[in-house]
Structure 1
Amino acid sequence: MPAEDATGSPEEITVRDAVSAPDAEGRPRRATRRFPLFTRDTARPEGGGRAAPGDAPAPARQWPVLAVLALVGLGLLLTALDVFRYGTLLIGAALLTGALLRWLLPDVGMLAVRSRFTDIATYGVLGTAIVLLAMMAQPHPWLEIPFLKDTLHFTVSG
């Protein structure tokens, strides 16, 4: 028997894919998050909702990603203006800020790309690597790791 709407007339059922095709009562035969071979849509990452209410202007709804992008842009500008070490430190700090925002805030808008754990790990590892590389940049590095020099001599002279 087809499903009925509030007026009592039969309601049309639209089948979108074979996985969620309804049974005789109109319920999906199988509920799954798995997508068919050719996807037309993807699931939004957890925390991917707006960071501000829907009636707020677009920049306010996406302030976490805009803050990270502004810091990266400023870092790139500093790097282009020949302040390499401070520019790259700022880029690494921007990624670490993105990891911190992703960890602390429930909804971060477009800063959420993958699962929360994957985003935090990716932003954190890349941000840490960029900060460490900026601190080890020549000339006059702020951070020297002794075994790296020995490793370089071993691989080059080997």
Structure 2
Amino acid sequence: MPAEDTHHRTGPASPDADGTKRTTRRFPRFTKDTARPEGGGRAAPGDAPAPARQWPMLVVLGAVALGLLLTALDVFRWGTLLIGAALLAGAVMRWTLPRVGMLAVRSRFTDIATYGILGLAIILLTMMAQPKPWLEIPFLKDTLHFTLTK
């Protein structure tokens, strides 16, 4: 490996007592690139068309777009349930597939936790929405009444 690449990756080189350059293990002050997240490569071979290479992200975005359209057309519950389900599907794909393209943002654990928690929260809030909630959690109702009456 040339000295320039070593300098770029491991930090500045400092001359030793005998005049040879020694690389340090310190990180450089300014980073020039970032590592791709684990599983962030293409979801299909490089010769496939662009939509096929990013199909996991397109599935999630398509389901979210359809959910937003349903919500805009006044089918609130089904639209937001679809949005939550799309995020849960993204978490499942991130967990099971070795490569998910741009659906990989951070580490696998962080992506799964983020997609899963947000998807579950959206689904639970949708099921508890007024009027005529599908799900009633008594202690949450009591908490709401306590905070509004005091």
Residue 29 of structure 1 corresponds to which residue in structure 2?
A: 23
| Amino acid across the alignment from 1:62 | Q
Alignment of 1:140 with 2:137, yes or no, is: no
- The runs of 5 or more residues in structure 2 that have no matched partner are 16-21
> TM-score scaled by structure 2?
0.86
Question: What pairs with 1:58-69 in structure 2 (closer than 5 Å)?
Answer: 58-69=50-61
Alpha-carbon distance in structure 2 between the residues aligned to 1:79 and 1:22: 61
User: Which of 28, 48, 59 is 1:56 aligned to?
Assistant: 48
How many residues align? The count is 145
Dislocated runs of 4+, deviation >6 Å: none
Partner secondary structure for residue 134 of structure 2: coil
> TM-score scaled by structure 1?
0.82
Alpha-carbon distance in structure 2 between the residues aligned to 1:35 and 1:68: 36
Higher helix share: 2
Alpha-carbon distance in structure 2 between the residues aligned to 1:152 and 1:99: 31
Kindly state the Cα deviation for residue 36 of structure 1 after the two structures are TM-superposed.
2.6
| Amino acid across the alignment from 1:29 | T
| Amino acid across the alignment from 2:51 | P
Alpha-carbon distance in structure 2 between the residues aligned to 1:19 and 1:149: 57
User: C-alpha root-mean-square deviation of aligned residues, in Å?
Assistant: 2.6
Kindly state the Cα deviation for residue 16 of structure 1 after the two structures are TM-superposed.
2.9
User: Which of 77, 93, 97 is 2:69 aligned to?
Assistant: 77
CA contact (8 A) 2:10 2:27 kept: no
User: Which of 123, 139, 144 is 1:131 aligned to?
Assistant: 123
CA deviations on 1:24-44 (whole Å, 9 max, x unpaired) are: xxxx8356xx85332221110
Alpha-carbon distance in structure 2 between the residues aligned to 1:150 and 1:82: 29
